């Protein structure tokens, strides 16, 4: 019963047409338990090793964690092993029937025991990646805000330069000055808008990071070992997606530094009556002031795609069509020994 909200009645009592409020939930049995059934569950030989959790805490877990099945669909037995070759969970019997040739199979409980430290390492890698992602996003936002201030300061400096130059020539240049200032403001608005759009995207990615961090915290506190084992893969995929989104902003030039400056006509003083424009405004889409640092250990990821080619011994042949030959003619070909 891996649903978004666990029912409030004990599943075992419901089978006896009794309605008792459930207090805890066993992910391995996939059943809610009342106080009496919970006590029997803890002392029963077959279930005493199960890890139960209160319904309140269980419902705080991410939905994809609660939807993880603990039993093999084929044998209806507890999933104990993981096959790296097929990237799938399996029961002991599955190892014999479907994974005899697989060399990379592990017992989940052995892999997640405190001695191995993977319980914390698996989520620590996620948290490290999230931390790197958050740091990079915050750094990018800070850099974009710096560029906004820089553009405004540069525009102000250009305005002062224009004013200084204007006083050196006659009042006939007033209209040209206004046109140039208008262009400076237009380009400022244009590129500031672009930067604001990038900041909005970065803040959206940061929001996603915060959500994943909350989910990781709840998983660390309340999820079972198997749920952590399977949930880590989803966390890795989500974090990887966020990393790709942020890196794409950098690769696509969205984090390039915009600088705005003014250039004047060299012949301005000599050709006062012939000057058509007061100057020009341009924005350089130049080098970046920041670089991202991804310190997460990619080699520590448990889930890896199967890259090896299939052996010819493992190829199964399927009958597609059967051809019946009614008659066959034989052609006598003279035998002649070939000389070598």
Give the pLDDT confidence of 156-197 residue by residue, as tens digits: 999 998 888 777 766 767 787 788 889 999 999 999 999 999
What percent of the chain has pLDDT above 70? Answer: 74
**What pLDDT is stored for residue 102 in this prediction?**
80
Instruction: Please determine whether the domains at 1-59 and 68-111 fall in the same fold group of CATH.
Output: yes
User: What residue spans define the domains of the chain?
Assistant: 1-59, 68-111, 118-292
**pLDDT number for residue 8:** 80
Contact present, 8 and 22 (Cβ < 8 Å): yes
Query: Strand, coil or helix: what is 281?
Result: strand
Q: Is the pLDDT of residue 244 over 90?
A: yes
CATH topology of domain 68-111: Double Stranded RNA Binding Domain (3.30.160)
pTM of full prediction above 0.85: no
1-59 belongs to CATH 3.30.160: yes
d(CA 61, CA 81): 23
Tell me what the mean pLDDT of segment 308-335 comes to. 47
């Amino acid at each position: 019963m891996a649903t978004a909200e666990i029912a409030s009645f004990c599943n075992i009592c419901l089978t006896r047409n009794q309605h008792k409020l459930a207090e805890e939930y066993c992910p391995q049995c996939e059943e809610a338990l009342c106080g009496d059934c919970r006590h029997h569950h803890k002392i029963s030989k077959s279930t005493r090793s199960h890890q139960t959790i209160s319904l309140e805490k269980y419902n705080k877990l991410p939905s994809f964690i609660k939807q993880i099945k603990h039993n093999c669909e084929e044998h209806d037995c507890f999933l104990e092993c993981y096959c790296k070759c097929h990237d799938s969970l399996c029961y002991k019997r599955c190892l014999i029937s479907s994974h005899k040739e697989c060399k990379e199979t592990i017992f989940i409980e052995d892999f997640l025991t405190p001695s191995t430290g993977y319980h914390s390492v698996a989520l620590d890698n996620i948290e490290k990646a999230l931390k790197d992602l958050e740091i990079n996003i915050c750094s990018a936002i800070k850099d974009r805000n710096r560029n906004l201030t820089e553009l405004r300061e540069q525009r102000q400096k250009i305005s002062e330069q224009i004013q200084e130059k204007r006083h050196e020539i006659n009042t006939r240049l007033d209209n040209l000055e206004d046109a140039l200032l208008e262009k400076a403001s237009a380009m400022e608005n244009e590129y500031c808008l672009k930067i604001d759009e990038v900041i909005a995207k970065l803040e959206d990615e940061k929001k996603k990071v915060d959500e994943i961090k909350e989910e990781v915290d709840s998983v660390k506190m309340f999820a079972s070992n198997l749920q952590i084992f399977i949930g880590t893969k989803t966390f890795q995929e989500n974090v990887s997606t966020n990393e790709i989104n942020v890196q794409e902003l950098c690769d696509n030039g969205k984090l390039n530094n915009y600088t705005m400056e003014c250039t004047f006509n060299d012949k301005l003083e000599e050709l006062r009556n012939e000057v058509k424009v007061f100057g020009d405004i341009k924005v350089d889409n130049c080098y970046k002031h920041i670089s991202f640092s991804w310190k997460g250990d990619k080699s520590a990821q448990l889930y890896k795609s199967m890259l090896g080619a299939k052996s010819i011994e493992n190829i199964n042949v399927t009958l597609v069509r059967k051809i019946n030959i009614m008659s066959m003619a034989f052609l006598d070909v003279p035998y002649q020994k070939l000389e070598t």
